[in-house]
């Protein structure tokens, strides 16, 4: 894990950067319009970053030393399915957690 100075550097860099992203249009650009191609790419940022971040964690979990784990895989699939169908983050988290614990209980 990262040392204290680096951790605080990350916290403040992330804080300033995030504020800049939140402030950029509302504070500085004002009413001027953005090129459509920029907006078109910005629309997909969250959905472009999060799945890529999660995929290796699901497939090669550190807790099992990087070996695919049926309980974790099942939990991931159930979470995605429930989240997609219900559009409700909390239901998805709860059903994913329930699947994980059931899986670990049955298999582990």
- In the window 16-75, what residues touch another protein (CB under 8 A)? 17-19, 21-27, 29-31, 34, 37, 39-63, 72, 75
Q: Cβ-count burial of 79 within 10 angstroms (0-12 exposed, 13-18 middle, 19+ buried)?
A: buried
Complex with another protein: residue 86 or 106, whichever CB lies closer:
86
Identify the residue among 12, 68, 70, 107 touching another protein (CB under 8 A): 12
Query: Which residue's CB is nearer to another protein, number 8 or number 106?
Result: 8
The least CB distance from residue 106 to another protein, in Å, is: 14
* Exposure class string for 31-53: b at 16+ Cβ within 10 A, else e: eeeeeeeeeeeeeeeeeeeeeee
Size of residue set near another protein by CB under 8 A: 75
> How many angstroms separate the most distant Cα atoms in the chain?
58
Question: Using the rule CB under 8 A, is 7 a contact of another protein?
Answer: yes
Rounded to 5 degrees, φ, ψ at 23 are -95, -20
Among 13, 70, 106, 107, binds another protein (CB under 8 A): 13
> Could you give the angle at the alpha carbon of 51 between the alpha carbons of 50 and 57, nearest 5°?
100
Among 68, 88, 106, 107, indicate the residue that binds another protein (CB under 8 A): 88
């Amino acid at each position: 894990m990262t040392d204290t100075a680096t951790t605080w550097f990350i916290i403040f860099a992330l804080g300033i950067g995030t504020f800049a992203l939140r402030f950029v249009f509302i504070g500085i650009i004002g009413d001027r319009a953005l090129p459509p191609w920029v907006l078109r790419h910005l629309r997909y940022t969250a959905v472009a970053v999060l799945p890529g971040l999660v995929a290796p964690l699901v497939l090669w979990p550190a807790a099992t030393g990087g070996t695919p784990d049926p309980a974790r895989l099942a939990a991931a699939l159930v979470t995605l399915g429930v989240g997609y169908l219900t559009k409700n983050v909390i239901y998805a988290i709860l059903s994913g957690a329930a699947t994980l614990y059931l899986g670990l209980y049955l298999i582990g």
